[in-house]
Structure 1
Amino acid sequence: MKKKLTNKKSFIYAFIFISLFYISVILVLEQQFRLELLKKINYQNIVVVVLLFLVSIFVRYFRWHLIMKNNGEDHCFFRGLFFYVSGFAFTASPGKIGELSRVIHYRAIGVSSDVVISSFIIERFFDLIVVLVLASVLLVNFSSLKLVAVVIIFMITVVVLLANNLTLTKSICRFFVNKNYFNTRRLFLLVYKVFCNVNYGLETKSFLVYMLLGTMAWCSTSFILVYLSYIFDIQVNGLDLMAVYPAAMLSGAVSFIPGGVGATEAVIVIILNHWGVSLTVATTIALIVRFSTLWLAMFVGIICTIISSLFLKQDNI
């Protein structure tokens, strides 16, 4: 019996929600957002921004493919690209629905859930490290971001501790398996399998490769803001500008708002304004950056979800 992998209405609802939010933001901040500022951006600039975004997506997927391969799953590179990117369709949805969609897609071709989940944890683990390093330039000057850094460092420490000390992890999981609180036995069995897989992903060679690819991906995305700042004649050190987007994304993640919608933009505006950039220009840059990352990610994700569904339909899955 075929399973319906995704609910198409969820894409529409998510896209409408984000659209209405951004329209509302523009209306509320109409004093800080001037459409005439967009005249500074030409078609060549748009192509550069889109290419930077696509490079980031491809590098992220290449790293994902290596993580999956390291976990013993060597799937089709081409199809896997669409399965992976389809998760971005739910970027602004509550929870980790995007990751869940990847679990569903990969399970349809025989990849176990624990492999996909552990790959996701490894991916996010290296993302957190890279983003924290890139944002560290701003942590010295913005005391409010130090709390964000502490939270992220705590999360990284927990993952490293549980992944490197499987005896401790096994003891903790065994306790909850035996107690079976709220029928969570299967959940903690899965947790143990996941951390076993994460343990393999923290080998020295893999660590360096994942760090390099993660740095390339995040630098590509961060450079979008640097490039836009150059277009709007902002005279700020390039290294500082490279740190703005990672710092904003960290704040958005810690806010627990789906997709960091609103929180990420606010941090970008606050940081740029702190450097003397007018609210008008800062707000314009923040919205364009999010249009070229969040919105574009959702749009590309929806297209890849449709293509992925066609692949699975072709295989009678």
Structure 2
Amino acid sequence: MQRISPRWRQGAITVTVLALVGYLALSVMADGDRLMEAVAVIGWGRLSLVLLLSLANYALRFWRWQLYLGWLGHAVPAWRSLLVYLSGFALTVSPGKAGEAVRCLYLRRDGVPYSTGLAMMFVERLLDLLAILVLASFILLSRQDLSWTVGIFAICLAVGLAVLHHRHTPDLLTAMGRRLGGRAAGAADWLSTTLMHARALLGWSRLMPILLIAILSWGAEGVGVWVLASAFPASPDLVFSIGVYGLAILAGAAAVFLPAGLGGTEAVMTGLLLTAGLTLPEAVAITLICRLATLWFAVGVGAAALLWLEYRGGDGEGVHETHVSELHPGEASQ
């Protein structure tokens, strides 16, 4: 049975982190002059406040993560759980944020099955998307012509929730997998189990509290846009600013194969700020600082947590080796 050795894993993660740092450095160098001009205009005080709002976002989402673990009957030490959660941010810039599944590898060492970890991530993604949809709808108070974009996402989420809550969905997946046979059968069983865990987290008594946490957490970063925009005379109001952030993040989410929505999020945010009366240099400055203080700040925090887990977190040799067959259901029988 093939194994992923701890030394190989540490080397791969170190190279990944160095690549991310290099990518960030090149990005900063490319926009260095504009970035420093933006900071000079906006001010270090506002930038510091936006960074604190980002930390509030992470803290609220981690609280939700702890609730998930407790509801599913798993007790992970708080400090280690925090590092595991933050480690996923290091790979946020992967297409569709798929790299954040690295959390499942670390949770497995605390007795949390991969299916449970992935179910938690699935629910987190779904509730985050729903929360962002709510925040994006704020912009409709000022821009009725954009209502169709929010409507599309609302319909998709409603259909998704209906399918998820349907009691026969796991059985249908299992039946389809058995009909296809081979790896498909193992994958379908695994996905069925994942959906069962996800449904346990999405019971109506739990849905509203964790949705409220998601709205507050992402709303904090939306407030950050308003804080940055307040540096300019044509500053939009708080509600519009939160809506701008929500709609920009939705645009990035729609471009699922773009790392963290890079390009799409920035273009939409800049365009919406222009409609509020800001000049192009002002809108670009706000967008650059916002993405630095939200996306890239998260990547930096996540990279530090990831390296800590690998080199100081007790996941070295002799603790637990990851089996490739555990990551891909059905391969063990091949």
Common fold by TM > 0.5:
yes
- Compared with structure 1, are the counterparts of its residues 243 and 42 closer, same or farther at alpha carbon in structure 2 (3 Å cutoff)? same
Alignment of 1:1-317 (within 5 A): 2-3=5-6, 4=9, 6-21=12-27, 23-24=29-30, 26=31, 33=34, 35-139=36-140, 141=143, 143=145, 146-147=148-149, 149-150=151-152, 152-180=153-181, 183-256=183-256, 257-309=258-310, 310-313=312-315, 316-317=319-320
- Compared with structure 1, are the counterparts of its residues 149 and 307 closer, same or farther at alpha carbon in structure 2 (3 Å cutoff)? farther
Q: Counterparts of 2:37 and 2:176 in 1: how far apart (Å)?
A: 62
Deviation readout 1:209-262 (Å, 9 max, x if unpaired)? 101211110111111111001122333222111111111000011012111111
Letter paired with 2:130: I
Deviation (angstroms), 1:21: 4.0
Letter paired with 1:222: G
Deviation (angstroms), 1:114: 0.8
Deviation (angstroms), 1:93: 1.9
Q: Counterparts of 1:82 and 1:149 in 2: how far apart (Å)?
A: 37
Letter paired with 1:10: T
Q: Counterparts of 1:62 and 1:286 in 2: how far apart (Å)?
A: 28
Contact 1:18–1:92 at 8 Å: present in 2 too?
no
Deviation (angstroms), 1:95: 4.3
Q: Counterparts of 2:23 and 2:164 in 1: how far apart (Å)?
A: 38
Deviation readout 1:80-111 (Å, 9 max, x if unpaired)? 00000000001112344432211111112221
Contact 2:90–2:300 at 8 Å: present in 1 too?
yes
Percent identity between the two aligned chains: 24
Q: Counterparts of 2:236 and 2:146 in 1: how far apart (Å)?
A: 21
Q: Which moved more, 1:104-113 or 1:227-236?
A: 227-236
Q: Which moved more, 1:200-209 or 1:42-51?
A: 42-51
- Compared with structure 1, are the counterparts of its residues 142 and 185 closer, same or farther at alpha carbon in structure 2 (3 Å cutoff)? farther
Q: Which moved more, 1:55-64 or 1:167-176?
A: 167-176
Deviation readout 1:107-165 (Å, 9 max, x if unpaired)? 12221011111111111111111111110133572756734651x33442343123211
Q: Counterparts of 2:35 and 2:209 in 1: how far apart (Å)?
A: 43
- Compared with structure 1, are the counterparts of its residues 250 and 142 closer, same or farther at alpha carbon in structure 2 (3 Å cutoff)? farther
Contact 2:234–2:277 at 8 Å: present in 1 too?
no
Deviation (angstroms), 1:7: 2.1
- Compared with structure 1, are the counterparts of its residues 143 and 185 closer, same or farther at alpha carbon in structure 2 (3 Å cutoff)? farther
- Compared with structure 1, are the counterparts of its residues 232 and 72 closer, same or farther at alpha carbon in structure 2 (3 Å cutoff)? same
Say which SS state the counterpart of residue 230 (structure 2) adopts.
helix
Q: Counterparts of 2:117 and 2:210 in 1: how far apart (Å)?
A: 16
Letter paired with 1:47: S
Alpha carbon RMSD of aligned pairs, Å? 2.3
Letter paired with 1:7: I
Contact 1:53–1:292 at 8 Å: present in 2 too?
yes
Say which SS state the counterpart of residue 177 (structure 2) adopts.
helix
- Compared with structure 1, are the counterparts of its residues 37 and 262 closer, same or farther at alpha carbon in structure 2 (3 Å cutoff)? same
- Compared with structure 1, are the counterparts of its residues 72 and 23 closer, same or farther at alpha carbon in structure 2 (3 Å cutoff)? same
Consecutive unaligned residues of structure 2, counting only runs of 5 or more, are 321-334
- Compared with structure 1, are the counterparts of its residues 34 and 308 closer, same or farther at alpha carbon in structure 2 (3 Å cutoff)? closer
Number of matched residues? 310
Say which SS state the counterpart of residue 76 (structure 2) adopts.
coil
